Amino acid sequence: VVEARFDAERGCAVCETPPWEMGPAGGDVIIEASLNGQEWTVSCHHFRYHECVISAVEPDFGPLAGGTEVLLRGSGLLEDGPTPRVRFTRARGEEGGEESIVVDGALCDEGISLRTPAFEDSAESFAATLAVALSNNDFVPVTLPADQSPPDTEEGGPPADDATAEGADAAPGAAAAEPARVAGAFRYEGK
């Protein structure tokens, strides 16, 4: 039993779903409501829990101009659900804050396919974190299993300017290092 509140703008009761153990019957549950905790509706509204796992971002880099065809490999995606949405978020550096762009994806046999958006006024490389929404606007950050994390270097070579993923200081006059590869992110690369 969870507490709900009435949302006057939407004209309905709203609650947060509690954690649910996926049993042999799957994640299908019936939702009923009560005003007094004793008398319940008998409308038999179904809600389906599911466990979506994104296992890879392929490719995990592309040009600043956007338009890269990307596949978020995954399992547990709802074939009969709404259009999946993917949020790309970048930190605004010196300006502070964040900028996000949401794009619609398409379900395919391997996961979710989409094209990367372009961020305005982007001249430098950066990593955009990813989040996926399979229903409404409930975005969940993309986190990859440890064994699927991208390497910190390009093509197995040394890190740029001997910098590490932790961002060691570069020698004076050295070129700035490209941002490190981040698991669950897409790296926009400049010239």
pLDDT in tens, 126-147: 999 999 988 766 788 888 876 5
pTM (predicted TM-score): 0.66
CA–CA distance, 86 with 83 (Å, rounded to integer): 10
pLDDT in tens, 7-40: 899 898 888 888 877 776 667 788 898 988 899 9
Q: Answer for the pair 160, 189: CB distance below 8 angstroms, yes or no.
A: no
